Amino acid sequence: MYIPTLDDMLAAHDRIAPHIHRTPVLTSQYLNDLTGAELFFKCENLQKAGAFKARGASNAVFGLTDEQAARGVATHSSGNHGTCLSYAAGRRGIPCTVVMPRTAPQAKKDAVRGYGGRIVECEPSTTSREAVFAQLIAETGAEFVHPYNDPRVIAGQATCSREFIEQVDGLEAMVAPIGGGGMISGTCLTLSNLAPHIKIYAAEPEQADDAYRSFKAGHIIADDAPVTIADGLKVPLKDLTWHFVKNHVTDILTASEAEIIDAMLMTWKRMKIVIEPSCAVPLATIIKNKHLFAGKRVGVIITGGNVDLDQLPWQTK
């Protein structure tokens, strides 16, 4: 297992700079007053393709040799990683194939295709996905880019917190959502090297709290089909992300579904940005654990803004 280093992050940042936004940091007096903390929000929902995953995907795609690149890239993801890998592959002009359950939302399929990616459908089961994916790789020789358990991807995500500490002085804590752990691992990579005094908190839905339970148990525990509105956070930790979580995360905090929806609506209403449910989890945990953050300068990573605008979770039918 290769653990990405600070140099990998620095090389990634040079490599991807032409393909990503240096996203802005926003503040809200209302949320500061509410929490007693001084909050800074790094808006990766305003990132290319609408999510931080454009960083890791771009790093993987633009790090390939021409020979590798010619065979294209492939992944399995019904979320932002598939969209962002299509985005990056499109920028390089190489093929991208995403294996996705045939039951995935049409909007997700459209997003992948919108960036020029090809979708290969599987049945909505792990067995089918693995079989279809293995066949695809065998046929095309495409480079597999895992959504998070990949050193190239983690080095790419790590560029986010590098920008963040350049943009905001004196941060004392940083909070990011945790699903598979790609963003948190990148955050750990950067901060443990460049700003080790900053405490790193991971935020997770109570209803998909496998990372929390893993952290407390000291080994990876995977949830069996968790149900949460924060659909980007359902996937389990893997060996590489577990390495970073285990060694560098201060604590994992959880929030209920109602708390997540409240924090999401509050963010839309007060900050005027479109965020997915997953990125509301950090704010929900900060509101719930004021004692940890009051009086501190706290960085919050808003991870993405890809959400169904036809039906929002606070709207009753």
Q: Tell me which residues touch its own copies (CB under 8 A).
A: 21, 24, 26-27, 29, 45-46, 48, 50, 265, 268-269, 271-275, 305, 309-312, 314-315
Query: Cβ of residue 57: shortest distance to its own copies, in angstroms?
Result: 15
Query: What is the rounded CA–CA span in Å between residue 188 and residue 249?
Result: 7
Nearest to 236 by CA among 247, 220, 249: 220
Radius of gyration of the chain (CA): 18
Q: Which is nearer to its own copies, 47 or 149 (CB)?
A: 47
Q: Which is nearer to its own copies, 44 or 210 (CB)?
A: 44
The backbone torsions φ and ψ at residue 290, rounded to the nearest 5 degrees and listed phi first, read -55, -35
> To 5 degrees, how large is the angle CA 140–CA 60–CA 218?
105
Q: Which is nearer to its own copies, 230 or 240 (CB)?
A: 230
Q: Which is nearer to its own copies, 65 or 311 (CB)?
A: 311
- Determine contact, residues 171/296, Cβ cutoff 8 Å: no
Q: Which is nearer to its own copies, 27 or 126 (CB)?
A: 27
Query: Cβ of residue 83: shortest distance to its own copies, in angstroms?
Result: 12
Token digits of residue 248: 């560098």
Q: Put residue 17 in one of left, alpha, beta given phi > 0 → left and psi -120 to 50 → alpha.
A: alpha
- Determine contact, residues 154/189, Cβ cutoff 8 Å: yes
Query: Cβ of residue 16: shortest distance to its own copies, in angstroms?
Result: 15
Query: Cβ of residue 182: shortest distance to its own copies, in angstroms?
Result: 20
Query: Cβ of residue 24: shortest distance to its own copies, in angstroms?
Result: 4
